[in-house]
Amino acid sequence: MSLKVSEIKAAVSTLAKQNKEALAEIGTKIADLNKQIEDLLAGNSDPTVTDEQFEADLKQLQTDAQALADIVPGTPTPTP
């Protein structure tokens, strides 16, 4: 296969343009991913619990703890 110099120049020019476009797209995707990571980290400082079983267990634990607190006397009397 033989190519003319003009064909090689055109091919190189096309490839250079495609490489620039690809690098720009990769840069944009990396920036988007970095933003998503930042958002996830920022939102992770105090996450919301959405597990229904966990919430039910927590409510039951609160109820049980209150029931126990109701039957156990308050502050113990210090021994003289």
> Token pair of 37, please?
């990571």
Whether 76 is covered by a domain: the verdict is: no
Domain around 12: 5-71
Q: Could you tell me if residue 52 is inside a domain?
A: yes
Question: Domain for residue 46, yes or no?
Answer: yes
Domain count, the chain: 1
In a domain, 77, yes or no: no
> Does residue 80 lie within any of the structural domains?
no
Domain assignment present for residue 58? The answer is: yes
Q: Rounded CA gap, 49 and 60, in Å?
A: 16
Q: Which distant-in-sequence residues (6+ apart) come within 8 Å of 49 by Cβ? A: 55
Q: How many CA atoms lie within 13 A of 22 on its CB side?
A: 6
| pLDDT tens-place string over residues 41-57 | 887 777 777 889 889 99
| 23 domain residue, yes or no | yes
Return the residue matching tokens 């105090």.
46
pLDDT band for 68, please (50, 70, 90 cuts): confident
User: Considering the domain boundaries, does residue 78 fall inside one?
Assistant: no
Provide the whole-model pTM: 0.49
Handedness of CA 68, 73, 78, 80 (dihedral sign): negative
